[in-house]
Amino acid sequence: MDPPLSTKLEKRSRYTPGRRTLPRLSKTMPSFNRYSAPRESIEKAVVVSCKPPDKAPILSKLYNPNKKETYFDQVFIIEKELGVGSFGEVYQVKSREDGRRYAVKCALELYRNSADRRWKLREAEKHEMLPPHANLVRFYMAWEEKQRLYIQTELCETSLDKIAENNHEIPESDVWKYFIDILLAVDHLHKHDILHVDIKPANIFVSSDGVCKLGDFGLIFDLNKDDPHTSEEGDSKYLASEVLNDDRPTKAADIFSLGITVLELATDLDLPTSDQHWHTLRSGHIPTRFVEKISPDLRDLIVSMMDPSPTKRPTTKELLENPFVRKHKLRRQMTLWKHETARCMGDNFAWIWNSFLALLWYLFFPFVKIATLVHTIYGHDEVQTTPYSNHVPTPAYRERTSSKRIPTRRLPKLDLEQPLSSSMPPKLDFDLSFSNRRDSPRNSVDRASPDLLPTPNRPRRPTARELRDLRTKLFEAGDN
């Protein structure tokens, strides 16, 4: 009897982890794949691209083919391992050339033969030819070296399956954000007649800005170029029932996968891989207890996308024209615009601040020139402002400078009323001692030269000018 449908949280609480038993020994030889060397041995790094040589990406300048290290080890620094899948290992790396972080997918198995090589290169070539979109994981380049394929893509922080595993009650507002982002990505692919074929939470990645991006394009199908008989099936838990009966995949199959993905995120439903419950979900019957907590708008969209008839399922264009989808799309765009604006301002704060200051200068520069011109015309030109050419003196400064006087020295006193005797010269009185300092000019002694300062013990020698003036006066007195 099949177990009933339940949520992932209920399943985890019902089954407690026990002690694992060792696997039984097999008495037969395990199957193996015969390995045959490819026709062209790829030892050195070679770019994988289907674009013309002038538009194809090129290898890094840091790569030296003569070294033993691979191109991956020479150009990138491994920071951590993001996950391991059937294709290979995915690493978070940092480029030695530009310092940016990327995700590099490294194939686990070597090329078995030429056919296996062409099959593995198909994912890289198809991802490269996808038209770019904000909700698609960006492709940078792919290369092969030593019989191994490497794919370098945009780095994302996490995926929706990890978010659903850690959070069993995702808010409906977040479910709408995820739905809008992936719907835009699927609509972009369908406009170019490309099917993803494997839409599921594990292939939906979330960037550091919180934007969902669709990735893992190993099974994409081009309706205009690919052969319908070569198409592959995706994960059975998200697969539409008509894919098993019809050889040619359709756009409606992607719509069904998108609808059941949203159902899993909104209800935490543990999707069955087969049995009767698998057919029950694809017959249009969803147990009420799983959808009773979500809003009627989201519930109706999920039911319409999971319709058993592919022709009755809405297209991406019809979904985007839905009034509820348009409302949440507008909210999503406003949120992303705010985050992008804040990020740009944070990254370019110095440039924005300098631009703002320059704008203020250009706005107020004419007023500064006018004020300078008015001051030049109607200013106080009679005021002497040297040695400061741009200094406007204050009234206190004018009063202090006008009161300064040049220090003067007292001439020797000569009594001309007494007659001079022929036997001895007249007595001279050189009073150079500044006896009354109150009558002397302010700071005159302080400003005088050290050679001219009077000494208290001996009189100062008269200068040549003083002697010449004294001689003139003596001659005038003798004539009289």
* 96 neighbors 76 (Cβ within 8 angstroms): yes
Residue 29 has pLDDT above 70, yes or no: no
- Provide φ and ψ at 35, rounded to 5°: -105, 130
Q: What is the average per-residue pLDDT within 384-400?
A: 59
What does the alpha-carbon distance between residue 141 and residue 289 come to, in Å, rounded to a whole number?
47
Bigger pLDDT: 155 vs 84? 155
Q: What is the mean pLDDT of the chain?
A: 79
Domain with CATH 1.10.510.10 in the chain: 157-343
Classify domain 46-153 at the CATH topology level: Phosphorylase Kinase; domain 1 (3.30.200)
Identify the top-confidence range among 39-43, 219-223, 378-382, 405-409.
219-223
Tell me the chain's radius of gyration from C-alpha atoms. 48
Bigger pLDDT: 69 vs 342? 69
**pLDDT tens digit sequence for 252-306:** 999 999 999 999 999 988 888 877 888 888 888 888 888 888 999 999 999 999 9
> Catalytic annotation on 198?
yes
pLDDT recorded at residue 358: 82
pTM of the model: 0.67
CA atoms 167, 169, 174, 179: torsion sign: positive
Domain with CATH 3.30.200.20 in the chain: 46-153
With cut-offs at 50, 70 and 90, classify the pLDDT of residue 54: confident
Class of domain 157-343: mainly alpha
Q: Specify the residue for token string 């979500």.
A: 294
Q: Specify the residue for token string 């080890």.
A: 73
| Catalytic residue selected from 198, 216, 254, 268 | 198
Q: What is the average per-residue pLDDT within 415-439?
A: 52
Cα torsion 134, 184, 259, 103 to 10°: value is -10
With cut-offs at 50, 70 and 90, classify the pLDDT of residue 8: confident
Confirm whether residue 105 is marked as ligand binding: yes
**pLDDT tens digit sequence for 189-208:** 999 999 999 999 999 999 98
